[in-house]
Structure 1
Amino acid sequence: MTQPFTLAVCAEMIWRDKPIEWRCARLAEMGFDVGLWNWPDHDLEALVQSGASFSIMNGYLTGRLADDEGATELLRSARETAQIGKRLGVARLNLHGTGLGEGGLPAQPTEIVTGKMWLKARDTLARIAEMAEEEGVVYTLENLNLPVDHPGTPFGRAEDTLALVSSVNHSRLRLNLDLYHVQIGEGNLIETCKSCLPWVGEIQVADVPGRCEPGTGEINYPVIARALNDMGYRGPVGMEAFAKGDPEHALEAFRNAFTL
């Protein structure tokens, strides 16, 4: 049995009755890297002292890709967050098509994405990549599903995030390819992975329906793990999922699904 991937787990979604620093320390003890959401929610020094290696964290607090005011705010917020990311040693800082509010809904819903918005989004991401080069960090752009969790989010589909990131084509801007969202919004997971592979920074997973650990839904993650290995992917795979039952059992199910 081999483990070709670095496995990470979103600490926000597991052991939700425990302090976040306890969760991070326990995940590190079990051999997982750690994913986080918004840094102001946590005691940064406690996170540092947890001993965890942080795979990914939300890379901004406010701002948008596709308009002048939003882009200016996104650049400011992303640069501020880069300093926190460096303090924690976070490998990747995550972006979305627009800022997300309560319940993951877009702060500014968009029904129609115009050509002008596409051009502005690409320009904003190019500026993010240049800033990331200055700061020595890496940003990722995450796809989101529109039918269930994030209706009205512009540039949410995997084909959208791929189009934007590949057009910028900068080593400091990668894809956070979330297969839970792909399954709900687009399907065709293995072919999507192949198309995105040259620009992937991290792959995230949860099963559908329910957004719980692999093995609780319809996605055959062991097959996907073998396909990723065969296509040469050796990067991180992060479980951004709830535990359907016992958290430690959920984590072992995740580990088993991505052990070949």
Structure 2
Amino acid sequence: MTYRLAVSAEMQFVDLPFVERVRRIHDLGFEVEIWDWTTKDLDALTATGATFSSMTGYVTGTLADPDGADELLRTAAASLAAADRLDCPRLNVHGTGLDGRGLPVRPAGVVTPAMWLTAARTLGRLAELGEKAGRVFTLENLNTTVDHPGTPFARAADTFALVEAVASPHLRMNLDLYHAQIGEGNLISLLETMLPAIGEIQVADVPGRCEPGTGEIHHPAIAAALRRLGYDGVVALEGWASGDPERALEAFRAAFA
């Protein structure tokens, strides 16, 4: 295995207190991903000894309008300070801020050329913040059919275009294959095309967003493609457990062994 495995503590062991979720994931040999750092006890998380591979890189704000961009950059700077405390290398952002239900705070039925330009400029400024802090921001694709209707720049093709336009090692893609399967398909082709821009890969099966083996994606083929391509980053399970969480994580590990 040339890559490392991580698990979202937001979606596994959900009956446990958050710090205990992190500890359980760490004890099972995985790196840990978190979302909104403002709701977490960062000192307690650090004390678990876990390796944090990714966290949400902003609190509020949007990419494609000037006021929202300023807010995103302001809260991204605060997020970098939190990432420093956790020694977390990657901070994740989306095409727009999401509310508690995963819906866009500023939905867009049509993404205009002006929005594309503003988003690219905002991401360029974000990459500059990342460079100064020695961290990497990742731009995640989402799906608009099931989970995040109305989100601009949602497709993997969109995030790839924006990351390529900025052309900075401090802005990479978070290629979420669960979202991509719903929105685009052709997952191995996406990996082959977008590999140079990828900073992280997230997975969950479709439908249901649970561990590998519960849906239609053949994750061992994904794993084989990643080994063939020489991917050496993180593959993270950002999905629910269909039953017992420990069995779900073992199924994840087995699919990518």
Shorter-chain TM-score range: over 0.9
38, 41, 57: which one aligns with 2:39: 41
Identity %: 58
In structure 2, the partner of 1:156 is 154
TM-score normalised by L of structure 2: 0.99
In structure 2, the partner of 1:29 is 27
Q: Does 1:71 align with 2:69?
A: yes
Alpha-carbon distance between aligned partners in 1 of 2:164 and 2:231, rounded to the nearest angstrom: 17
Alpha-carbon distance between aligned partners in 2 of 1:91 and 1:149, rounded to the nearest angstrom: 27
Q: Does 1:167 align with 2:165?
A: yes
Alpha-carbon distance between aligned partners in 1 of 2:17 and 2:3, rounded to the nearest angstrom: 27
Answer whether contact 1:145 1:185 (CA < 8 A) is retained: yes
In the alignment of these two chains, the number of paired residues is 257
Answer whether contact 1:5 1:258 (CA < 8 A) is retained: no
In structure 1, the partner of 2:112 is 114
Alpha-carbon distance between aligned partners in 2 of 1:211 and 1:110, rounded to the nearest angstrom: 24
In structure 2, the partner of 1:57 is 55
CA deviation string 1:124-153 (max 9, x = no partner): 000001111111111000000011100000
Alpha-carbon distance between aligned partners in 2 of 1:40 and 1:74, rounded to the nearest angstrom: 15
Provide the secondary structure at the position in 2 that maps to 1:80.
helix
Q: Give the residue type in structure 2 aligned to 1:109.
A: P
- State the 4+ residue runs in structure 1 displaced beyond 6 angstroms: none
Q: Structure 2: where are the runs of 5+ without partners?
A: none
Provide the secondary structure at the position in 1 that maps to 2:207.
coil
TM-superposed CA distance for 1:204, in Å, is 0.1
In structure 1, the partner of 2:234 is 236
Counterparts of 1:100-249 in structure 2 under 5 Å? 100-249=98-247
Alpha-carbon distance between aligned partners in 2 of 1:140 and 1:241, rounded to the nearest angstrom: 18
Alpha-carbon distance between aligned partners in 1 of 2:246 and 2:2, rounded to the nearest angstrom: 21
TM-superposed CA distance for 1:182, in Å, is 0.1
Q: Structure 1: where are the runs of 5+ without partners?
A: none
TM-superposed CA distance for 1:205, in Å, is 0.1
Q: Give the residue type in structure 1 aligned to 2:111.
A: V
